[in-house]
Amino acid sequence: MVKGSQKIVAVDQDIPIIDMSQERSRVSMQIIKACETLGFFKVVNHGVDQTTISRMEQESINFFAKPVYEKTSVKPVDQPFRYGFRDIGLNGDSGEVEYLLFHTNDPAFLSQLSLSSAVNCYIEAVKQLAREILDLTAEGLGVPPHTFSRLISSVDSDSVLRVNHYPPYDQFSSGATLSDKSVSLTRVGFGEHTDPQILTVLRSNGVGGLQVSNPDGMWVPVSPDPSAFCVNVGDLLQVMTNGRFISVRHRALTFGKENRLSTAYFAGPPLQAKIGPLPAMVKAVNKPRLYQTFTWSEYKKLAYSLRLEDSRLDMFRTCKNEDHE
């Protein structure tokens, strides 16, 4: 069921659509503004080949259409990839979703799956897009080039690809039927949370469900646009920009009638990478340092020890006005 306290506003309200084919400095400026105000934007004319996208989508559809016993054979849980059904994380979170989770720096597992080549191509393409967006971000902030993109480009970068399938109501639930008017079909597919990594690049098929939380605490439904990518700031980018960028809370609802498919690339740094506010975001602008320095490994461990909706960033906040470096 959906918690009702937060109001829902108009579809796409204040969500920027950034045309990446514009002049570079314009794109860069628009990305910075979007990261500061909402932490979320759409990109069009992004340069990712349509064939790469369609192949990935078709292979995912084929995978999720397989019988349950075949899909569950893509476990065990402690491997760096898995098929999951309803369960999210390690602490009892769940949603009306089935998914495939790939750790992108471990290609060995992929050979076990028929969709491996489509996944590999897709990962390369969205990684390139994420790098490009991060380079434009660095340019706009005036920090050294590749400050962010180098973190996700390394061979040991700890990035993740997640393919989510939100099936129609009758595929998941027995008992009530679509004709039973007393049953609300709106369910939480993936509960509200922020993404722990640096940047997320997400796309979906033509079925809606994604909502992002705006600065007034309202949910903004995001219209589905298969030709665009949705991009959001992750927790680590909020830390590195010393809170200038917002790691936005978002969730996916499912309305029960159509299959929704979404594919998210979570661009993360190597496990041992040290993450903290960049000097240019603290001293140079005379701002109090808001976060401590930590490794991605420490942060990831903490994220997995908490519930999905918990706010992990608060645990790494410095005391008020404390300045360590």
- Which positions touch ligand GA4 (CB under 6 A)? 88-89, 91, 93, 101, 160, 162, 193, 195-196, 266, 303-304, 308
Q: Cβ neighbours of residue 72 under 8 Å, at least 6 residues apart?
A: 83, 85
Rg from Cα positions in the chain = 19
Closest approach of ligand GA4 to the CB of residue 120, in Å: 19
By beta-carbon proximity to ligand GA4, the closer residue of 28 and 299 is 299
By beta-carbon proximity to ligand GA4, the closer residue of 48 and 308 is 308
221 three-class SS? strand
By beta-carbon proximity to ligand GA4, the closer residue of 85 and 304 is 304
Closest approach of ligand GA4 to the CB of residue 100, in Å: 11
Name the residue among 89, 31, 25, 98 with its Cα closest to residue 67: 98
The distance from CA 98 to its chain's CA centroid, rounded to whole angstroms, is 16
By beta-carbon proximity to ligand GA4, the closer residue of 168 and 196 is 196
Closest approach of ligand GA4 to the CB of residue 307, in Å: 6
Q: What is the dihedral of CA 203, 214, 300, 314, to 10 degrees?
A: 180
Residue 260 known to be catalytic: yes
Closest approach of ligand GA4 to the CB of residue 83, in Å: 12
- Is there a contact between 42 and 231 (Cβ–Cβ < 8 Å)? yes
Closest approach of ligand GA4 to the CB of residue 145, in Å: 27
Question: Which DSSP letter does residue 183 get?
Answer: S
Q: Which two tokens stand for residue 96?
A: 């009306």
Which residue do the tokens 């503004």 mark? 33
Nearest to ligand GA4 by Cβ — which residue? 89
Identify the sign of the CA torsion 304, 130, 61, 75: negative
Q: Which two tokens stand for residue 162?
A: 């997640």
Peptide bond into 167 cis (omega under 30): no
Amino acid, res. 238: Q
By beta-carbon proximity to ligand GA4, the closer residue of 90 and 183 is 90
Q: Which member of 131, 162, 260, 289 is catalytic?
A: 260
Q: Across-strand partners of 4?
A: none
266 three-class SS? strand
31 three-class SS? helix
Closest approach of ligand GA4 to the CB of residue 39, in Å: 14
By beta-carbon proximity to ligand GA4, the closer residue of 143 and 308 is 308
Please list the active-site residues.
Answer: 260
